[in-house]
Amino acid sequence: NAGVMQNPRHLVRRRGQEARLRCSPMKGHSHVYWYRQLPEEGLKFMVYLQKENIIDESGMPKERFSAEFPKEGPSILRIQQVVRGDSAAYFCASSPYRPETQYFGPGTRLLVL
């Protein structure tokens, strides 16, 4: 049973470009969560999605950030017009139903030059 998969593992973008981060949840999991971890800090919740629905986006910046979890395919976290402050590790987690038992992927490390 494969775990949560994220790609790419590392992503380098120049300021103003777009970043697309992908997350494939564990088989049978229909709940996806995105978290961001800045250097030397703990993880911060960004958004919680179920298939085709955004349930809680209270942690998402109001501008430039969007997320989706289509009926088919992986969940996508999209960052438009990236700035240096977006450099961080972005983790995706999935769960079958209970919010506490979230299983995390290896993360995507975004570096904005």
Partner 1 sequence: LAKTTQPISMDSYEGQEVNITCSHNNIATNDYITWYQQFPSQGPRFIIQGYKTKVTNEVASLFIPADRKSSTLSLPRVSLSDTAVYYCLVGELEYGNKLVFGAGTILRVKS
How many residues touch partner 1 (CB under 8 A)? 28
Q: Give the nearest distance from C-beta 81 to partner 1 in angstroms.
A: 26
Q: Using CB under 8 A, pick the residue from 15, 27, 44, 78 that binds partner 1.
A: 44
Q: Which is nearer to partner 1, 42 or 85 (CB)?
A: 42
> x/- string (CB under 8 A) for partner 1, residues 22-41?
---------x-x-x-----x
Is 99 near partner 1 (CB under 8 A)?
yes
Interacting stretch for partner 1, rule CB under 8 A, among 12-20, 53-61, 68-76, 78-86? 53-61
C-alpha 97/C-alpha 110 separation (Å) is: 29
**Options 19, 24, 48, 94; binder of partner 1; rule CB under 8 A:** 48
Q: Which stretch binds partner 1 (CB under 8 A): 11-19, 62-70, 78-86, 89-97?
A: 89-97
Q: Any residues with CB less than 8 A from the CB of 64 and at least 6 apart, and which?
A: 79, 80, 81, 82
User: Three-state SS string across the chain, please?
Assistant: CCCCEEECCEEEECCCCCEEEEEECCCCCCEEEEEEECCCCCEEEEEEEECCEEEECCCCCCCCEEEECCCCCCEEEEECCCCHHHCEEEEEEEECCCCCCCEECCCEEEEEC
